[in-house]
Structure 1
């Protein structure tokens, strides 16, 4: 992996629009004093623990709701379209709050922002079960999802900052933790809810305990500035962002990453939000449907650890994009034609397909030379991608309500695989956004 500082853009340009460090033969200033202070070993160990605990909390707010969606719909009187809107709220919040993450990180530091994100997750998960109406439920869900959103965007930034030479490995670690949290929440929410008397409010609210635990390791990192330039710590000139020499929207790689992120996110949120309902409509019990969603999520646990380092060693990630897409088509085709015939197989296939998420996170870390570039690219690709993914779950719910079945919604999901593959292959080319700006 490229060193975070040796390839960072120099602020003095010797040609219009071109920084000095990119002009061959142009001597640059002495960078010795500007090198980031290396994090102490205990800080890196603390960051790993903080990343793991934060990642575990980035999906239970969503998958626990998917497992209890029928009970929540009945309890709050939601229509199919409103339930589809509810499954799209995560994407909307991720986009809205994700755009604000870089500015917040520049002002307060990424550690402080992620710590605040954990507090927001815990608060939202405590308040959401107390809601007595759909609007209040949506607002309290948005509080938790806002915390998830800023943490989503800043995870690659934290990795690049503290582990610039281990981006693939550390991304794999927290991606595995994210998948584990997703799987556990999907699998145990219904059994634990049944054990607590079948109260869906308790079943959703219990995940706040895990979020409170995640706050603790981030507290010492709130004011930590390891891995940041001394000048930036002193409040002087910060590290130039990748887009200072051109808007990031001019980068084709950045645009393709955003579209790939959005299309794979559409598939993931349809899977997490609607797959249990598809199985229940096919005659499976609520507990088994939740367990199947758990299987889908747990499949990604080992793969999320293996895939990012593998992708980081490859010049182009297009081949992985295609392989994951094949699994996705097969899984959605199974849900379309015979959901009850081989539910375990469909769950496994879609679990493998969901590994597109750690793959795109890895590509974000690889497509920029500098830490500032990763901040810009992560915010743009994730926030824009989540905006792209908003209509999908809503449309799936509406098509199901209009058609009375799941054939038309699943046909739509299979059709969307085509642009997803094209964008993923273009985003996976071995290049950096600085070269395109």
Structure 2
């Protein structure tokens, strides 16, 4: 059995203390990547009222995560080359802490948006960094460490969404309930700061890969389409699923519970999927299963949305495991940490922009058609595109194999 203290960037085994710092840094870092987003939703009314936000500014607030993830995700490879992965990861978590901790103190809407941008920039950079860090330090345990990463990402999202309102009820102040999550980000930055104290973590840096080079490969293009379609579906579900159930006759409480159950399914799926993917080179079977689950859920919502709501919700929730699948593809379809980071940055920056259009188009079809069948047809069409992209991306192969031989060589 391979020594767990050995990584791909060290000629000798790394001290176990550093290995566990890296594991803790990956887990705690992932825990904080979504707290700035999911903590806002349950208290959106209190925030907009307390800051006297207009409807337009409230719309900016809800759209800001997509814009930040696209912009700062695209800039991350440049920042990596300038500052290095470990320093940048520590800075990203500190940015989340500063943004999340100070925005509740804002006295006006524009300052709140500016501080939210700082927090979201940290989350966007962390989104791109973590898959590459897993690939860099644990190349022979990608499945296990991606499981850690995706599971803690789901846990953090759920914790912030479920915990904000109870904290607000106990404290009596929505500002305290939003700001408390800054403490988690501060704790998460500590392992990365300690890793920096152990000196350089890489024997050499890979030659830079920009979005243009990634998009000139078939693997890169299919990755963008796969991530973008799953992201679009996810934003539709988060934005419209409960409303669709309420319009079909469910109570607000029951519809909210169904959405909570759907999102909670991501935790066990995130725990199981990456490790399963690491055991095989061909991943098209996973893609087909998730499309079938989507199709079954849509068929049920089309014909009997309320009668079998928990079954349909389970199907949709299982289908949304395409998110950890997409994150795992970044590592298993690349040979180098630089390739993982480049593929992650390109797919996420473009994919989140695609995702931002989903709720708008879904709502527009609802308004134009007067029912839910046309929007559900859009949902199924997106799932079909996701299937096509996933079946191509699921074939054995690596991004670097489609580039020039220099792409995977270390820079001098």
Q: Which TM-score band applies after superposition, normalised by the shorter structure? A: 0.7 to 0.9
Q: Where in structure 2 are the equivalents of 1:170-249 lying within 5 Å?
A: 170-197=145-172, 199-222=173-196, 224-225=198-199, 227-229=201-203, 232=204, 238-241=205-208, 247-249=213-215
Determine if contact 1:88/1:269 at 8 Å carries over to the other structure.
no
Aligned pair partner of 1:413 in 379, 384, 388: 379
- Cα distance in 2 for partners of 1:290, 1:324 equals 23
Secondary structure at the residue paired with 1:306?
A: helix
Determine if contact 1:55/1:175 at 8 Å carries over to the other structure.
yes
Q: Are 2:33 and 1:66 equivalent residues in the alignment?
A: no
> Number of aligned pairs?
394
Determine if contact 1:242/1:370 at 8 Å carries over to the other structure.
no
- Cα distance in 1 for partners of 2:54, 2:401 equals 49
Alignment match, 1:377: 343
CA drift of 1:167 comes to 0.8
- Cα distance in 2 for partners of 1:312, 1:391 equals 32
- Cα distance in 1 for partners of 2:265, 2:17 equals 32
- Segments of 5+ residues of structure 1 without an aligned counterpart are 1-7, 9-33, 233-237
CA drift of 1:69 comes to 4.1
Spell out, residue by residue over 1:229-256, the C-alpha distance to the aligned partner (whole angstroms, 9 max, x if none).
Answer: 1xx4xxxxx4324569x92221001110
Change in 2 beyond 3 A, CA 1:418/1:280: same
Change in 2 beyond 3 A, CA 1:291/1:414: same
Alignment match, 1:42: 17
CA drift of 1:306 comes to 1.4
Q: Where in structure 2 are the equivalents of 1:3-402 lying within 5 Å?
A: 36=11, 38-69=13-44, 71-72=46-47, 76=52, 79=55, 86-131=61-106, 135-197=110-172, 199-222=173-196, 224-225=198-199, 227-229=201-203, 232=204, 238-241=205-208, 247-279=213-245, 283-285=250-252, 290-332=256-298, 340-399=306-365
CA drift of 1:293 comes to 3.6
Change in 2 beyond 3 A, CA 1:411/1:222: farther
Secondary structure at the residue paired with 2:334?
A: coil
Change in 2 beyond 3 A, CA 1:100/1:271: same
CA drift of 1:37 comes to 5.4
CA drift of 1:261 comes to 0.7
Spell out, residue by residue over 1:98-144, the C-alpha distance to the aligned partner (whole angstroms, 9 max, x if none).
Answer: 11212212222211111111112122222343456654444333222
- Cα distance in 2 for partners of 1:277, 1:208 equals 31
- Cα distance in 2 for partners of 1:278, 1:82 equals 25
Change in 2 beyond 3 A, CA 1:225/1:381: farther
- Cα distance in 1 for partners of 2:103, 2:72 equals 19
CA drift of 1:71 comes to 5.0
Q: TM-score, normalised by structure 2?
A: 0.83
Determine if contact 1:61/1:144 at 8 Å carries over to the other structure.
yes
Determine if contact 2:92/2:125 at 8 Å carries over to the other structure.
yes
Determine if contact 1:37/1:228 at 8 Å carries over to the other structure.
no
CA drift of 1:417 comes to 1.2
Determine if contact 1:279/1:289 at 8 Å carries over to the other structure.
yes
- Cα distance in 1 for partners of 2:81, 2:98 equals 24
Q: TM-score, normalised by structure 1?
A: 0.79
Secondary structure at the residue paired with 1:368?
A: coil
- Segments of 5+ residues of structure 2 without an aligned counterpart are 1-7, 404-412
Alignment match, 1:424: 390
- Cα distance in 2 for partners of 1:138, 1:280 equals 31
Determine if contact 2:214/2:343 at 8 Å carries over to the other structure.
yes
Determine if contact 1:66/1:272 at 8 Å carries over to the other structure.
no
